[in-house]
Structure 1
Amino acid sequence: MPLIRPFAALRPAPGRAADVIAPPYDVLNTVEARTLAAGRPWSFLHISKPEIDLPPETDPHAAAVYAKAAENLKRMIESGVLARDQRPLYYAYRLVMGDHVQLGLVATASVAAYDANRIRKHEFTRPDKEDDRVRQILALNAQTGPVLLAYPDAPEVDRLLAESAEQPPEAEAAAESGVRHTLWAIRDETVIARLSELFEAMPALYIADGHHRSAAASRVAASRRPSGPGHTGNESHEYFLSVIFPHNQMRIMDYNRLVKDLNHLSEAGFLNRVSERFAIEKADNPVKPGNPGEFGLYLGGHWYKLTIRSDLIPADPVARLDVSLLQDNLISPVLGISDPRRDRRIDFVGGVRGLHELERRVDSGEMALAFSLHPTRMEDLMAVADAGQVMPPKSTWFEPKLVDGLASHILD
């Protein structure tokens, strides 16, 4: 089956994008979603976080929540706020965040390619989160949360997308974050066919964000395949909603760490232990590491620059990641946190919050120390995925983020 293919998107009617678009379902809790959707009857949060329309004590995973999502989707279609294109198309999608711009392709990606690891993963998934997405897809008979994918170097794809973005857009709106989202429909059949050919020639695509959404799509497809004849592989459930950007345009920000205590060490004793594996330099300003293998440490009102010994950097694509180097050489042996997924002594802060957020939480006494990291590179993520391995928790923070509601995939 083709790696990707066009689809007839369900998307905001002309002039309604600003009313509809909403942050991804998994970056808001229910209270935040309810506040953000207040006074906005057409916000996609009524579909992606439908518990906001039910009593506050409602379990977000109750059957009534998924039924409410389906009811709200139907209401938005019947009211003409959302409309579906008449034929399968590709779409160009541009994100602008400050001076950062990335332009990608909205398409549906092959479940078979995902199952065969041609669409490559780098994270484990949790069954409960998969279950939630499966139930949402089945209730809506649609995929509404796009999977963020990356494609390797493909200059002709970049050129075709840039040319498509020279036309008047179908939708344009700024999100609450200030990020500007613009969508163009690609209607030229010659361009559609050429994009399909170019992607088919690629060895792989890479999941950047959306492991639970893609895993859920795979489960839904498996459940809908007939046991006997009649299955062609071309059914709509055999593809999942994706936005695919060139890997060299994607922006990964630092994902920093905070720890509650020094594991019964004094500040001097802690720094002495750290010096066994890292060079330590006191800094006059907050430390934003400029290279892999460098880390910032905020402790006792002071910043330090840490540089790991070069002989401690292994060749393995996972073990050589900065998040692994810090975990394996400091957080685990010195601070005694061996399982950062479950240990409540450690917390994680996306770099979009800035280094001053690290200072604030340490200075307040909530945390004892903070680490700033160099962002994981897309090339490192792709190397891990190519090796069939998984990255440590909280390794990547992608910005800018996609929005929900700009394009959805109806399962016919």
Structure 2
Amino acid sequence: MALVKPFKAIRPTKDKVSFVASRSYEEYPKDELKSVLKYNPFSFLHIINPGFKFDKSITGKERFRLVHNRYLEFLEEHIFQKDDQACFYLYQIGKGDFKSLGFFCACSVADYRKDVIKKHEDTIQHRERLFADYLHTVGFNAEPVLMTYTDNDFIHTIFQQEVQKQPEYAFSTTDRVSHKLWKISDKKTIKSLEAAFAQMDALYIADGHHRSASSNLLAKKMEGQNKAHTGKEAYNFFMAYLIPESQIKIYEFNRMVKDLNGHTKKEFLIKLDEHFRIEKREDGLYKPTKKHHFSMYLEGEFYSLYLRRTNYTFTNALSKLDTQILFKTILEPILGITDLRNDKRISYGYGKHNLIKMKDCVDEGKFAVGFSLVPITIEEIKSIADAGLVMPPKSTYIEPKLRSGLAIYEL
């Protein structure tokens, strides 16, 4: 039984929404970030980068306090407004022929604790604590957790009826992404959606494991400090964006390693032969198209690696995952990489043209070898989550990537 709730969002005014909405802070190259901050006074980046106002780099709790102050300024200057009734917010994001239609809502930390909200990634405790402190100080949540649910005809019909109405927002951003948002305020429709999700056994986190874990940590802290705790307080929930499984797009992360761990090319290929049937490709760029097949680029040549099932046993959902197979058969035993998150010898890449980038990096001597995989499927993610297992880091790059500042949940 999944609990979803409407909430009174803090949102940009219609005339400023296209200026406010920003990509994730980490996605901006330094020059672009500086330009946006200099020439766009309405960008949400001013809130999360408050030191720009003082021409100073500010970190830690001082930054958190200033983020809160910039947020208050956006409210005082009527860049932001607060809705007077709790709503669901239907949001469509699209680029080219790819569109996702989901909705902003408040999800329950109780569901997170009861594993109704399913996870497939490990979190790092110090990052959980840091973001929980951040949320406590700034008093709002502007980064929704991206979650998926099984496609549902009833919910789909409601959404299709809503998108026939005039949207609250309709704008495009400079990266050619279109954005539309509708308020769902009708109480009957809200109750229908709540009831539909109450019949679901699970929701699956696609992106935002640290954000959800930090919200849970904050809720525990606030509950301990509140003698009148009821479970209905805002801190018992966190903002999420829910989309049906069919509208999520999953890309692979390639792996590149800086050296062969002391092996020559011939020695390395011989060791690979234990678990893989190896074929040199003569047809240029080679990208795998099947599970348990890998592309490898080494010393100017592409190879296809086909897993030998006779020497590798599938024991659970994790063991069948290509990122885990690569780790257990090559990265750890042959190349000596045991910590996929922190080892400086390994790097990751994603994107439409990343196979070419991987080849270029190896050709330029930045890395010795590169591996390309096929994308993980939503079914594999669910199998891992249902079994309570954890994927290797950088197993998925997931879209849609949401804009910050479109809807804000106050704690």
Q: Aligned AA for 1:342?
A: N
Q: State the 1:406 CA deviation.
A: 0.7
Structure 2 residue aligned with 1:81, among 79, 88, 93? Answer: 79
Letter in 1 for 2:370: A
How much is the aligned-residue C-alpha RMSD, in angstroms?
Answer: 2.0
Q: CA deviation at 1:132?
A: 2.8
Q: Which residue of 1 aligns with 2:125?
A: 127
CA distance 1:228–1:38, shift in 2 (3 Å): closer
Amino acid at match of 2:64: Y
Q: Is the 8 A contact 1:144 1:409 kept in 2?
A: yes
What is the TM-score when the length of structure 1 is the normalising length?
0.93
Secondary structure of 2:320's counterpart equals coil
Alignment of 1:221-240 (within 5 A): 221-225=219-223, 230-240=228-238
Q: 1:346 to 1:338 in 2, by over 3 A?
A: same
SS at match of 2:78: coil
Residue in 2 that maps onto 1:90? 88
Instruction: Give how far 1:228 is off.
Output: 7.4
2:294 alignment counterpart? 295
CA distance in 2, matches of 1:219, 1:253: 30
Out of 102, 108, 128, the residue aligned to residue 104 of structure 1 is: 102
- The answer as to whether partners of 1:15 and 1:171 remain within 8 angstroms in 2 is no
Distance 1:255 1:191 in 2: 40
Q: Which residue of 2 aligns with 1:249?
A: 247
The match for 1:45 is 45
Note the residue ranges of structure 1 that are not aligned, 5 or more in a row: none
In structure 1, C-alpha distance between the alignment counterparts of 2:157 and 2:273, rounded to whole Å: 49
Shift of 1:36: 3.8
Tell me by how many angstroms 1:76 deviates.
Answer: 1.0
Q: How far, CA to CA, are the matches of 1:90 and 1:282 in structure 2?
A: 54
Correspondence for 2:10: 10
- 1:191 equivalent among 185, 189, 198: 189
Q: Measure how far apart 1:286 and its partner are.
A: 1.8
Does residue 212 of the first structure (1) align with residue 200 of the second (2)? Answer: no
CA distance 1:297–1:395, shift in 2 (3 Å): same
Aligned to 2:318, the other structure's residue is in SS state: coil
Shift of 1:28: 4.9
TM-superposed CA distance for 1:353, in Å, is 5.0
SS state of the match for residue 305, structure 1?
A: strand
Matched position secondary structure for 2:128: helix
Number of equivalences: 409
Q: CA deviation at 1:249?
A: 1.4
Q: Distance in 2 between matches of 1:220 and 1:402?
A: 23
Q: Which moved more, 1:171-180 or 1:230-239?
A: 171-180
Summarize the Cα distance change of 1:353–1:238 in structure 2 as closer, same or farther, 3 Å threshold: farther
Amino acid at match of 2:118: R
CA distance in 2, matches of 1:185, 1:122: 31
Which amino acid counterpart does residue 141 of structure 2 have in structure 1? Q
Amino acid at match of 1:136: Y
Structure 2 unmatched runs, 5+: none
C-alpha separation in 1, matches of 2:26 and 2:382? 23
CA contact (8 A) 2:2 2:202 kept: no
Counterpart of 2:385 in structure 1 is: 385
CA distance 1:268–1:154, change in 2 (3 Å): same
Question: Superposition pairs for residues 238-317 of structure 1, below 5 Å?
Answer: 238-283=236-281, 284-311=283-310, 312-317=312-317
Deviations 1:380-402 (A, max 9, x none): 11111111111111111112311
- Deviation (angstroms), 1:25: 3.7
1:52, 1:299 → 2: CA distance?
A: 44
In structure 1, C-alpha distance between the alignment counterparts of 2:137 and 2:271, rounded to whole Å: 54
* Equivalent-residue separation in structure 2 for 1:33 and 1:139 (angstroms): 24
Identity %, equivalent residues: 34
Matched residue SS, 1:222:
helix
* AA in 2 matched with 1:263: N
Alpha-carbon displacement from aligned partner over 1:95-120 (angstroms, at most 9, x marks no partner)? 21221111111100011111111111
- Equivalences for residues 282-361 of structure 1 within 5 A: 282-283=280-281, 284-311=283-310, 312-352=312-352, 354-361=354-361
One-letter amino acid of the counterpart of residue 45, structure 2: L
Does the C-alpha gap of structure 1 residues 313 and 15 become closer, same or farther in structure 2, counting only changes over 3 Å?
Answer: farther
Tell me the TM-score normalized by structure 2.
Answer: 0.94
Aligned AA (1:142): F
